[in-house]
Structure 1
């Protein structure tokens, strides 16, 4: 009788890939987790209970077939595991690195709820596809049949790239337009290398280029090319711009020099990591070296900023958040990593204003949590008379992102938006109010996770194919 390869969670404890020591990793931008060795990946995958109703799968936005590829990994069928993982997720090695597994798949693992510690799903997912790249199993896309129809995609972030992949596999001619000098969107310029090393992103973009996807970079829609021109050039258009407008701060001194947007700060840091000549980094305006840094916000972008500032050589890094640790929106794993690296969190604290120009301090109001608001979270309330000044040479605003006014920016009539400024689109298909124009990702749902953008891109690409097929059928009549 064959030995049971799974359900080993009773005898094998949960184990993560080795995490580099904080005193070493906080001095460079390399990823902090080592790779699983083959034997360790098999061992950890074998802890899966293969439950009848896999909550890990149902709580994954992409509904990845997690139990099956864990079983394949545990039994040495790694190439099959890669094929299955890739069938539902365009970028498994990226999701394995940056998804908040503690809130999604791993956070809903049945064996954790029974006290045994979750299966390390994200680390195995990363291992499977990194191995596939090493073994040469990841190939350029070769469509069975080339189609004469084309789609223009505006934005080369995860949603746009996921859609490009699906459309190219169907033989559609795909052109991706992006305002930056490199493709990848926030994967390239928003997320620091210590979470996602850039060669991981670049090899995917290279794969798409080898597959026939055309990238038009340094291209600002509305300036370098009109939206109408893109629409006229292609049989369908997909908008995947993301949301990059920073929520702003008000109050005395909020326009002082030294108060910067998170997206600007992270973009400059990532450009520097690529080896680019970045004046804002060299002149110190967007470089934390030797400075007292205060980051305002409690999401994952704030975590990226504080951990970047530590690596740049800041003398101190503090994160102000108006609620407590239990109520912060960012990943608890990221908070722990930041604390290990030397970041100080100041909970129940909000900015009231700023001292000096250039900025020399943040005027802080201490808060307490009151009654729940409409979302069920306790609302922060000001504690009168508890104000103080937090010294700062660099203040980074990481308060979340809002959509740009695309109809106005692009001079487009008839493109409906919601009261939040996001594009009004069908959540299943991405179809907008304009015929043949689709939209996906954060520009539709608001600032969200990379994995949701990938799902939206894949789903909408299928809807675009239906649209193209219908158009072809009508033309043939």
Structure 2
């Protein structure tokens, strides 16, 4: 019997059980438990089934959220998974790391008076149930086309495109410079947000579907874009953006001033069981240190929370704007605060102090002034407000820019924008090089995983169309001659 919906006036919002801050700060396990079946059905029944589903409108993937909430409330979980996975290649990942408070849940129509439906937790529950029951299948096509596509980058955009194109019958070859599949999913996001077994499980499934991964391959050194063009019908560049933004202040070159991605990668490798040198472990360990993280995005939150788990003596986050204007998830800020992180809002570093090794950060207070071109208020220095924080480890989490791909890939014909991202046709995703497409952060700039998945899926559609049009044109030309 169908469970009644629109129960938000009767049933309160309830998240899955969250481990206490004291307990979870001691390890890298995920902090939320999964829903039990009855809990998931009950929370899904709070959906108002509104006429205009703003949760879906504000989801980059346009996930049909009301329908799979309804099916979950009714206990029809296999159907719920079918609907969920129809628009999302990796719902088990989005259910864990999407900033739902800024996207679907933040725009739920019942949010104002009754707190939103716990969409992300229900999405995670649906997909984990699907894996347990064997409903998640490897991407095997009905027939092979005998055509191959090369994909550069094994992050979310590249994997989403690979999965879609494989289902359509293409032979897929994915090239990546790292030793594991996943990109930032594997080496940029901590286990407490995304257990690496979730990523490794999906990697195995993609391999079972026939997708071939070539790891440890540097484009430009081991193989050129032109060689890939000769091997494949089309090439997709989905490298993401990995070049850390720098801060120009005195002392930035001191020992102990590190990049966020380097810090997170070492932590993730250790959690994966990799053997690293004692020197590397000591350099990137926060144990017993006074840690200062500069930045206010999700990467900064990953760094402060990782530092807590490594046993830092103190962890402080410096951000030049206030909490309301920070780009990261408010849920992540709340979790970090619970775990013992100190936030110095409206503060910016002026210098890193020390002789050879960093010993302190001199910072200055800020106030919000006139809006900048993006509409956000620009931070302005408050004269005479300097203060000093003790620091044995400073982590720069200021965002990421693209690497110089035309030089790195030895492909000068690749045209870039003034931001260094690859320039593509907005409709076809094709770059300035015929048959070479691009998607994800390398086009969009540093963004969310969910947007990378969307871009990868859209690019796959255009690649399929391009290849089929070429084949049709060749056949017509042969017939005419």
**Same fold judged by TM-score > 0.5?**
yes
Give the match for residue 130 of structure 2.
132
| Contact 1:269–1:281 (8 Å) recurs in 2 | no
Q: 1:304 aligns with which of 302, 322, 328?
A: 302
Q: 2:151 aligns with which of 146, 150, 153?
A: 153
| Contact 1:153–1:164 (8 Å) recurs in 2 | yes
**Where do 1:10-409 residues align within 5 Å?**
10-113=9-112, 115-279=113-277, 283-356=281-354, 357-409=356-408
In structure 1, stretches of 5+ residues that fail to align are none
| Contact 1:98–1:196 (8 Å) recurs in 2 | yes
Quote the offset at 1:413 in angstroms: 2.5
Q: In structure 2, how many angstroms separate the alpha carbons of the residues matched to 1:231 and 1:394?
A: 45
Q: In structure 1, how many angstroms separate the alpha carbons of the residues matched to 2:394 and 2:454?
A: 34
**Relative to structure 1, is the Cα distance of residues 344 and 255 closer, same or farther in structure 2, using a 3 angstrom cutoff?**
same
Quote the offset at 1:474 in angstroms: 2.0
Q: In structure 1, how many angstroms separate the alpha carbons of the residues matched to 2:92 and 2:428?
A: 26
Give the match for residue 447 of structure 2.
448
| Contact 1:268–1:281 (8 Å) recurs in 2 | no
| Contact 1:26–1:311 (8 Å) recurs in 2 | yes
Give the match for residue 459 of structure 1.
458
**Relative to structure 1, is the Cα distance of residues 468 and 360 closer, same or farther in structure 2, using a 3 angstrom cutoff?**
same
| Contact 2:160–2:453 (8 Å) recurs in 1 | yes
Q: In structure 2, how many angstroms separate the alpha carbons of the residues matched to 1:283 and 1:51?
A: 52
Q: In structure 2, how many angstroms separate the alpha carbons of the residues matched to 1:344 and 1:4?
A: 44
User: CA offsets, 1:414-464, max 9 Å, x none?
Assistant: 211100000001334311111111100000010000000000000000100
Q: In structure 1, how many angstroms separate the alpha carbons of the residues matched to 2:140 and 2:326?
A: 45
**Relative to structure 1, is the Cα distance of residues 471 and 52 closer, same or farther in structure 2, using a 3 angstrom cutoff?**
same
Q: In structure 2, how many angstroms separate the alpha carbons of the residues matched to 1:107 and 1:245?
A: 31
Q: Which segment drifts farther, 194-203 or 248-257?
A: 248-257
Q: In structure 2, how many angstroms separate the alpha carbons of the residues matched to 1:70 and 1:374?
A: 39
TM-score by length of 1: 0.98
SS in 2 for 1:366: strand
| Contact 1:147–1:172 (8 Å) recurs in 2 | yes
Q: Which segment drifts farther, 207-216 or 356-365?
A: 356-365
In structure 2, stretches of 5+ residues that fail to align are 477-481
Quote the offset at 1:280 in angstroms: 6.2
SS in 2 for 1:49: coil
Q: CA RMSD in A?
A: 1.1
| Contact 1:268–1:280 (8 Å) recurs in 2 | no
User: CA offsets, 1:281-304, max 9 Å, x none?
Assistant: 754101111111000000000000
TM-score by length of 2: 0.97
Quote the offset at 1:140 in angstroms: 1.3
User: CA offsets, 1:189-209, max 9 Å, x none?
Assistant: 100000000010111111100
Quote the offset at 1:4 in angstroms: 5.8
Q: In structure 2, how many angstroms separate the alpha carbons of the residues matched to 1:146 and 1:164?
A: 15
Quote the offset at 1:379 in angstroms: 1.1
| 2:420 paired with 1:421 | yes
Q: In structure 1, how many angstroms separate the alpha carbons of the residues matched to 2:322 and 2:51?
A: 37
User: CA offsets, 1:80-113, max 9 Å, x none?
Assistant: 0001100000000100000010111111101113
User: CA offsets, 1:332-377, max 9 Å, x none?
Assistant: 0000000000100011111111111211111111111112222221
Q: In structure 2, how many angstroms separate the alpha carbons of the residues matched to 1:267 and 1:280?
A: 15
